[in-house]
Amino acid sequence: MTTRRSTLILLPVVIGLASAVAMRAADTPAAQVPAGILGNVTDLEKWTRYYDDTRETEYGLGLIPKGAGNSLRLTFSSRLEGRFPNQPPRQVVLHAIVGALTNPNRNRTPQLTFEIDTVKKGDATTPAVIVTTKLDLTSRARPDRPAPGAQPEDLMVRLTMDEFTPMAMADAIRINAFGFSLKLNDQQLDALHEYGRRVLVITTPSPLAR
Protein backbone atom coordinates (compact mmCIF):
# COMPACT_ATOMS: atom_id res chain seq x y z
CA MET A 1 0.00 0.00 0.00
CA THR A 2 3.02 2.20 -0.20
CA THR A 3 3.24 2.30 -3.99
CA ARG A 4 2.76 5.59 -5.74
CA ARG A 5 -0.51 4.60 -7.46
CA SER A 6 -2.22 3.19 -4.35
CA THR A 7 -5.71 4.58 -3.83
CA LEU A 8 -6.55 2.98 -0.49
CA ILE A 9 -7.53 5.24 2.43
CA LEU A 10 -6.00 8.30 0.80
CA LEU A 11 -7.63 11.54 1.91
CA PRO A 12 -7.76 14.25 -0.83
CA VAL A 13 -6.47 17.69 0.00
CA VAL A 14 -6.65 20.43 -2.64
CA ILE A 15 -4.21 23.31 -2.74
CA GLY A 16 -4.46 26.08 -5.31
CA LEU A 17 -1.11 27.15 -6.70
CA ALA A 18 -1.20 30.82 -7.54
CA SER A 19 0.77 31.71 -10.62
CA ALA A 20 4.12 33.13 -9.67
CA VAL A 21 5.43 36.47 -10.83
CA ALA A 22 5.28 36.62 -14.61
CA MET A 23 8.49 35.70 -16.38
CA ARG A 24 10.59 38.42 -17.93
CA ALA A 25 9.18 39.45 -21.28
CA ALA A 26 11.82 37.75 -23.36
CA ASP A 27 9.17 35.82 -25.26
CA THR A 28 9.49 35.69 -28.99
CA PRO A 29 6.38 36.35 -31.11
CA ALA A 30 3.67 33.70 -31.12
CA ALA A 31 4.69 32.69 -34.64
CA GLN A 32 7.94 31.38 -33.16
CA VAL A 33 6.26 28.25 -31.84
CA PRO A 34 8.26 25.49 -33.60
CA ALA A 35 5.49 22.90 -33.92
CA GLY A 36 7.15 21.43 -37.00
CA ILE A 37 10.40 20.79 -35.12
CA LEU A 38 9.15 19.81 -31.68
CA GLY A 39 6.28 17.94 -33.32
CA ASN A 40 8.79 15.21 -34.21
CA VAL A 41 9.91 14.58 -30.63
CA THR A 42 9.13 11.03 -29.54
CA ASP A 43 7.74 9.81 -26.23
CA LEU A 44 10.36 9.74 -23.44
CA GLU A 45 12.94 11.37 -25.73
CA LYS A 46 15.54 13.47 -23.96
CA TRP A 47 18.29 15.68 -25.32
CA THR A 48 21.26 17.76 -24.25
CA ARG A 49 22.72 20.63 -26.28
CA TYR A 50 25.55 23.01 -25.47
CA TYR A 51 25.49 26.55 -26.93
CA ASP A 52 28.93 28.09 -27.34
CA ASP A 53 27.58 31.59 -27.96
CA THR A 54 25.75 31.81 -24.63
CA ARG A 55 27.78 29.19 -22.73
CA GLU A 56 24.61 27.42 -21.72
CA THR A 57 23.55 23.78 -21.64
CA GLU A 58 20.02 22.91 -22.71
CA TYR A 59 18.24 19.88 -21.29
CA GLY A 60 15.02 18.70 -22.91
CA LEU A 61 12.34 16.03 -22.51
CA GLY A 62 9.47 14.93 -24.73
CA LEU A 63 6.32 13.14 -23.54
CA ILE A 64 3.26 11.97 -25.50
CA PRO A 65 0.28 11.29 -23.23
CA LYS A 66 -2.75 9.75 -24.92
CA GLY A 67 -6.45 10.04 -24.17
CA ALA A 68 -9.75 8.93 -25.68
CA GLY A 69 -9.40 9.78 -29.35
CA ASN A 70 -6.60 12.28 -28.85
CA SER A 71 -2.95 12.68 -27.97
CA LEU A 72 -0.65 15.48 -26.87
CA ARG A 73 3.03 16.13 -27.38
CA LEU A 74 4.62 17.84 -24.37
CA THR A 75 8.17 19.18 -24.48
CA PHE A 76 10.11 20.60 -21.55
CA SER A 77 13.34 22.50 -22.16
CA SER A 78 15.57 24.66 -20.01
CA ARG A 79 18.97 26.28 -20.27
CA LEU A 80 21.49 26.14 -17.44
CA GLU A 81 24.69 28.15 -17.17
CA GLY A 82 27.93 26.48 -18.22
CA ARG A 83 28.97 23.23 -19.85
CA PHE A 84 28.71 21.41 -16.53
CA PRO A 85 25.83 23.18 -14.74
CA ASN A 86 25.66 23.25 -10.97
CA GLN A 87 22.69 25.61 -10.54
CA PRO A 88 19.06 25.06 -11.61
CA PRO A 89 17.60 27.17 -14.43
CA ARG A 90 15.41 30.24 -13.97
CA GLN A 91 12.59 28.76 -16.00
CA VAL A 92 11.40 25.74 -17.97
CA VAL A 93 9.83 26.31 -21.39
CA LEU A 94 6.80 24.08 -21.95
CA HIS A 95 5.21 23.38 -25.33
CA ALA A 96 1.91 21.54 -25.65
CA ILE A 97 1.39 20.41 -29.25
CA VAL A 98 -1.64 18.69 -30.73
CA GLY A 99 -0.80 15.01 -31.22
CA ALA A 100 -1.18 12.85 -34.32
CA LEU A 101 -4.10 10.89 -32.83
CA THR A 102 -6.26 13.98 -32.30
CA ASN A 103 -9.38 14.31 -34.45
CA PRO A 104 -8.59 17.22 -36.80
CA ASN A 105 -12.28 18.15 -36.94
CA ARG A 106 -12.57 18.61 -33.20
CA ASN A 107 -12.78 22.21 -32.00
CA ARG A 108 -9.65 23.26 -30.07
CA THR A 109 -9.32 26.06 -27.52
CA PRO A 110 -6.09 27.58 -26.12
CA GLN A 111 -6.65 25.97 -22.73
CA LEU A 112 -3.80 24.52 -20.67
CA THR A 113 -4.28 23.33 -17.10
CA PHE A 114 -2.60 20.74 -14.88
CA GLU A 115 -3.79 18.87 -11.79
CA ILE A 116 -0.75 17.53 -9.93
CA ASP A 117 -1.10 14.89 -7.21
CA THR A 118 1.58 14.25 -4.61
CA VAL A 119 1.19 11.50 -2.02
CA LYS A 120 2.19 12.48 1.49
CA LYS A 121 3.08 9.29 3.32
CA GLY A 122 1.35 8.49 6.56
CA ASP A 123 2.42 6.43 9.55
CA ALA A 124 0.94 3.88 11.92
CA THR A 125 -1.68 6.35 13.16
CA THR A 126 -2.12 8.70 10.20
CA PRO A 127 -3.28 7.62 6.73
CA ALA A 128 -1.52 8.77 3.59
CA VAL A 129 -2.86 11.94 2.00
CA ILE A 130 -3.06 13.03 -1.63
CA VAL A 131 -2.21 16.72 -2.06
CA THR A 132 -3.54 18.11 -5.34
CA THR A 133 -2.01 21.24 -6.87
CA LYS A 134 -4.05 22.97 -9.54
CA LEU A 135 -2.10 24.97 -12.09
CA ASP A 136 -3.97 26.98 -14.73
CA LEU A 137 -1.61 28.30 -17.41
CA THR A 138 -4.28 29.29 -19.92
CA SER A 139 -3.87 33.06 -19.53
CA ARG A 140 -0.11 32.84 -20.18
CA ALA A 141 -0.07 30.16 -22.85
CA ARG A 142 0.89 31.61 -26.23
CA PRO A 143 -0.85 29.90 -29.16
CA ASP A 144 0.74 29.57 -32.58
CA ARG A 145 -2.56 30.80 -34.05
CA PRO A 146 -3.73 33.67 -31.83
CA ALA A 147 -6.48 35.01 -34.09
CA PRO A 148 -10.05 34.74 -32.72
CA GLY A 149 -11.68 31.50 -33.82
CA ALA A 150 -8.39 30.00 -35.03
CA GLN A 151 -7.55 26.36 -34.24
CA PRO A 152 -4.26 26.38 -32.26
CA GLU A 153 -1.82 23.49 -32.64
CA ASP A 154 0.87 24.62 -30.22
CA LEU A 155 0.73 26.36 -26.84
CA MET A 156 3.92 27.71 -25.27
CA VAL A 157 4.40 28.90 -21.70
CA ARG A 158 7.42 29.70 -19.55
CA LEU A 159 7.15 27.93 -16.21
CA THR A 160 8.67 29.40 -13.08
CA MET A 161 10.61 26.93 -11.00
CA ASP A 162 7.90 27.16 -8.32
CA GLU A 163 5.45 25.94 -10.96
CA PHE A 164 7.68 23.25 -12.45
CA THR A 165 8.93 21.71 -9.19
CA PRO A 166 5.57 20.11 -8.22
CA MET A 167 5.45 18.52 -11.69
CA ALA A 168 8.94 17.08 -11.23
CA MET A 169 7.89 15.49 -7.92
CA ALA A 170 4.36 14.40 -8.87
CA ASP A 171 2.75 11.02 -8.29
CA ALA A 172 0.04 11.73 -10.87
CA ILE A 173 -0.57 14.47 -13.43
CA ARG A 174 -3.84 15.13 -15.27
CA ILE A 175 -3.82 17.59 -18.15
CA ASN A 176 -6.49 19.56 -19.96
CA ALA A 177 -5.07 20.95 -23.18
CA PHE A 178 -6.94 22.34 -26.19
CA GLY A 179 -10.17 21.30 -24.46
CA PHE A 180 -9.49 17.57 -23.99
CA SER A 181 -8.18 15.56 -21.05
CA LEU A 182 -5.15 13.31 -20.74
CA LYS A 183 -3.00 11.76 -18.03
CA LEU A 184 0.69 10.90 -17.77
CA ASN A 185 1.44 7.20 -17.37
CA ASP A 186 3.98 5.75 -14.94
CA GLN A 187 6.88 5.75 -17.43
CA GLN A 188 6.21 9.38 -18.31
CA LEU A 189 6.08 10.36 -14.64
CA ASP A 190 9.39 8.59 -14.04
CA ALA A 191 10.92 10.41 -17.02
CA LEU A 192 9.68 13.73 -15.64
CA HIS A 193 11.21 12.91 -12.22
CA GLU A 194 14.51 12.14 -13.91
CA TYR A 195 14.31 15.40 -15.86
CA GLY A 196 13.87 17.18 -12.54
CA ARG A 197 17.16 15.64 -11.43
CA ARG A 198 18.89 16.65 -14.66
CA VAL A 199 17.92 20.29 -14.20
CA LEU A 200 18.89 20.13 -10.52
CA VAL A 201 15.37 20.64 -9.13
CA ILE A 202 15.32 17.23 -7.45
CA THR A 203 18.45 16.44 -5.44
CA THR A 204 17.60 12.91 -4.31
CA PRO A 205 19.22 10.10 -6.33
CA SER A 206 17.14 8.13 -8.84
CA PRO A 207 15.69 4.88 -7.40
CA LEU A 208 17.04 3.15 -10.51
CA ALA A 209 20.58 4.07 -9.43
CA ARG A 210 20.27 2.40 -6.05
Residue 24 belongs to some domain of the structure: no
d(CA 114, CA 19): 12
Residue 117 belongs to some domain of the structure: yes
Residues 11-60 pLDDT 10s: 454 444 444 333 333 343 334 445 556 768 999 999 999 999 999 999 99
Residue 116 belongs to some domain of the structure: yes
Residues 178-200 pLDDT 10s: 999 999 999 999 999 999 999 99
Residue 2 belongs to some domain of the structure: no
Residue 98 belongs to some domain of the structure: yes
Residue 2: pLDDT band with limits 50, 70, 90: very low
**Is 49 in a helix, a strand, or coil?**
strand
Residue 27 belongs to some domain of the structure: no
Q: What is the pLDDT of residue 205?
A: 62
Q: What is the pLDDT of residue 36?
A: 55
**Domain membership of residue 135 as a residue range:** 11-19+39-200
How many structural domains are present in the chain?
1
Residue 106: pLDDT band with limits 50, 70, 90: confident
Q: What is the pLDDT of residue 121?
A: 86
Instruction: Name 59's bridge partners.
Output: 48, 78
Mean pLDDT of the chain: 83
In 3D space, the residue among 130, 124, 195, 127 whose CA is nearest the CA of residue 165 turns out to be: 195
Phi, psi for residue 98 in degrees, rounded to 5: -55, 130
Residue 154 belongs to some domain of the structure: yes
